[in-house]
Amino acid sequence: MHKSIFLSLLVLLCFKRSHAQNEQMSANQIYGQMKKVADWQWHNLETGGWKNQKKDWTNAAMYAGMMAWSQLANDDVYYKKLLQVGADNQWKIGKYRYFADDYCVGQLYAKLYLIYKRPEFIADLKSLGDSILKLPHLESLEWKNAIYTREWAWCDALFMGPPALAFLSEATGDPKYLDKAVELWWKSTGYLFDQEEKLYYRDSRYFNKKEKNGTKVFWGRGNGWVIGGLVRVLSVLPKGHPDYKRFENLFIEMSDRLAALQQPDGAWHASLLDPESYPSKETSGTGLICYAMAWGVNNGLISYKKYEPVITRAWGALSSAVHPDGKLGFVQPQGAAPDKVGYEDTDVFGVGAFLLAGTEVFRLNLMNEKNTVISEIYNLSSINKEQTVRIGWNQVKRKIKVSDPKRLIARDAATGEIVPLKINYEQKKPSALQIMVNVAAGSSRFFEISTK
């Protein structure tokens, strides 16, 4: 009798967990969580002040996520906040010109340039890029003589530096900055990547260090920085580039290794090989890894079937770390190695990682919905525009078993709001569905077409 009751309770518990997980992965809830976290962070900065300078890497990592969120938000208030950051910085990078942390902010400038086409946004970044091209980069990456001010000698730098140069190529149309990023990526990888463990050391000081359980020291967030930077470079690296396949293979290899190291709580802990010594989940590293894997699935580099459960568990871990007011917890404080972390710990770079993850998980969720047609429209300009979404009737019928278009309904995938759907006819037969909507500057909007 007791055993029967226990089994019934267990089945009910499993159902509730499964149901909660499905709810957690709905597109409009993902959007809602992102908005809550983004709004809390801006409010906290505007009322409580900035802990570090606006050019600092911590904030620059936040801007990366805020840019991704701004594209999805369909509200130019977020772009205006980022434009104000650039103006406050006078569109300059940090003090130490060749220190990757100090030009991570250039990623923001380059991405804003793509929308607003203002040369001053990237002038200083371009000046730096031209200087970097002239340097020999022949020094050892051993952690001495302040090598980090000249080379990418620590794994975090692979998120800070390479995408800044890669995005500069995207903005200018000149591949030389991207090519230099590729060259220096492999220099750092050759030094910091452990071929046996398929993970990156933080820097040379950790080559011979051990965790309490005797394993090598591989920092969760550090490897999150790497795989996050890796997909940011891949996002602009042409598939015909001589090194594209090499980057792709590294991404697949890291994804496979990290998937095997995911913890039962869905997160990656501060120490990848000794999670028991750091039992709490850690959201900045988890966010970066979740972001990279979801991007990889969305872009066809890794399989949905294998990685969707990993990504879903990771997003569940991230979502459960959001406080009721939108504060993101369990962000390990600034450092260079695994450390303790708790529910109240937060920082801006963790928010950046969360928002990067959310934008890709949102897309992943939508693109794999059954019996639904998803259409995206993107406003490439710097002004709000009314735009038309047109979906061919044959495309609809291939995805949805429906003969009467009047049975269909259109929703904004982010908000769940129903939008007017017009049916076009040719010779009294449906030919296309049409939606007319306002799209904010630099924004994407996604629409779901399904049966009522």
Catalytic residues: 156
The DSSP code sequence of 227-281 is: HHHHHHHHTTS-TTSTTHHHHHHHHHHHHHHHHHT--TTSS--SBSS-GGGS-S-
Quote the tokens at residue 410: 């259109």
Asked if 205 contacts 182 with a C-beta cutoff of 8 angstroms, the reply is no
Residue ranges of alpha helices (H) inside 336-383 are 348-367
Q: Hey, CA dihedral for 55, 178, 66, 254, is it positive or negative?
A: negative
Beta bridge partners of 218: none
The DSSP code sequence of 157-219 is: HHHHSHHHHHHHHHHHS-THHHHHHHHHHHHHHHHHEETTTTEE-SSGGGTT-B-TTS-B--B
Quote the tokens at residue 151: 């080379």
* Nearest to 353, CA basis, from 63, 152, 80: 63
DSSP assigned state of 156: T
Beta bridge partners of 408: 451
How far, in Å, are 70, 108, 171, 352, 355 from residue 115 at the CA level?
A: 12, 11, 10, 20, 20
Q: E strands along 326-452, which residues? A: 373-378, 385-392, 408-412, 418-419, 422-426, 429-439, 444-451
Q: Hunting for tokens 């890794």 — which residue is that?
A: 302
Sequence-separated (6 or more) residues with CB below 8 Å from residue 237: 166, 178, 182, 243, 244, 247
